[in-house]
């Protein structure tokens, strides 16, 4: 309904953030999807269509699983976070 011009007469944009990356597989377009990546104190924004040249026969969520966007947490980083949280527990 949001994409219907008869309903969205003001041409509003829908912006959302999620950790449910499988949602990437539900849209037909990629030119309106941006991937944000934190690198230290800065955040970069890359457009899925313009900045990544992905094969269309592979689901976008699979590209995410393969770390094509450089956004997955490495295992060693995850273990550092886990150990830090456990050390603060009690």
- Inside any domain, residue 13: no
Distance (Å, rounded) from C-alpha 61 to C-alpha 23? 8
Q: Which domain covers residue 52, as residue numbers?
A: 21-88
Instruction: Give me 41's structure tokens.
Output: 């104190």
Local structure of residue 11 (DSSP, 8 states): -
Query: In 3-state terms, what secondary structure has residue 38?
Result: strand
Q: Please list the pLDDT of the chain residue by residue as tens digits (90 residues).
A: 777 889 889 888 777 777 888 888 887 777 788 888 888 888 888 888 889 888 888 898 898 888 888 888 788 888 998 899 999 876
Asked whether residue 36 is assigned to any structural domain, the reply reads yes
Strands 34-39 and 42-47: antiparallel
Q: Give the total number of structural domains in the chain.
A: 1
Look at residue 56 and tell me if it is in a domain.
yes
Q: What is the pLDDT of residue 90?
A: 66
6 in any annotated domain: no
Instruction: Return the pLDDT at 1.
Output: 72
Q: Is residue 77 part of a domain?
A: yes
Question: Is 14 contained in some domain?
Answer: no
CA angle (34 as vertex; 81, 17 as ends), nearest 5: 55
**Exposed/middle/buried for residue 43 (C-beta within 10 Å: 0-12, 13-18, 19+):** exposed
For the whole prediction, is pTM greater than 0.75? no
């Amino acid at each position: 309904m949001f994409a219907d011009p008869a309903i969205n007469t003001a041409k509003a944009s829908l912006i959302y953030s999620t950790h449910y990356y499988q949602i990437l597989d539900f849209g037909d377009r990629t030119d309106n999807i941006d991937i944000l990546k934190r690198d230290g104190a800065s955040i970069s924004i890359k457009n899925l269509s313009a900045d990544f040249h992905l094969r269309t026969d592979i689901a976008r969520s699979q590209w995410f699983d393969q770390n094509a966007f450089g956004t997955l947490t490495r295992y060693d980083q995850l273990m550092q976070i886990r150990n830090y949280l456990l050390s603060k527990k009690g």
